[in-house]
Structure 1
Amino acid sequence: MKPPVYCLVSVKVRKERLNDARRQMRLLEKDVLSRAGCLQYHHLQNLDDPTRFTGYGIFASHSDLEAHFEMMKARRTGDDALDGIMDPDVEVTVQTMDRI
């Protein structure tokens, strides 16, 4: 059996949309956790800068992680609920890792 794939995503949201961001992340977490191939998925809020979040996911395979990325790409395209939440001046970073 292949080991799972780990993913960290760092984002910064607009301060004025912080409550919207939290609500959307809670909804997203429930949705992603219900999908096949998702073993764990959480959003963590930075204590020093509450506008910064890290998404932490563990997926059963690279193909499950790719399916998650495709779902997120489709979800962000034209989604009024997500529109304007992210800070446009800060790049979203994604790290994909294997356990050693």
Structure 2
Amino acid sequence: MTRTPVQPVFVDRKTAAELLMISVETFDVWVRSGFLSQPQIDRGQIMRWHWPSLEAKLAHFSAEPAHSDPFMENIADVFGKKAKGRNRAAA
């Protein structure tokens, strides 16, 4: 009988990085910067992250609207509504 693979609940940093399809170095940077949480299990050399929490964090992040680009906002000011409003006021 074939067993179906079971998704682990707690993962080490290498497994978490593999599941996220990023390098271990990128995973470390994301944890240090606070983008991802610190490990839920930290017993010296044994560190584990709660995989469902990591998934939820990334799902929440991808659902948030992207931060606007200040350069593009200024372009919109020049060519968009604000520029039209200034032209009317000057006329």
Task: Please identify which structure carries the higher strand content.
Answer: 1
**What is the TM-score normalised by the length of structure 1?**
0.24
What TM-score do the two structures reach when normalised by structure 2? Answer: 0.26
Rg larger in 1 or in 2? 2
> Taking CA–CA contacts closer than 8 Å with sequence separation of 6 or more, which of the two structures ends up with the larger relative contact order?
1
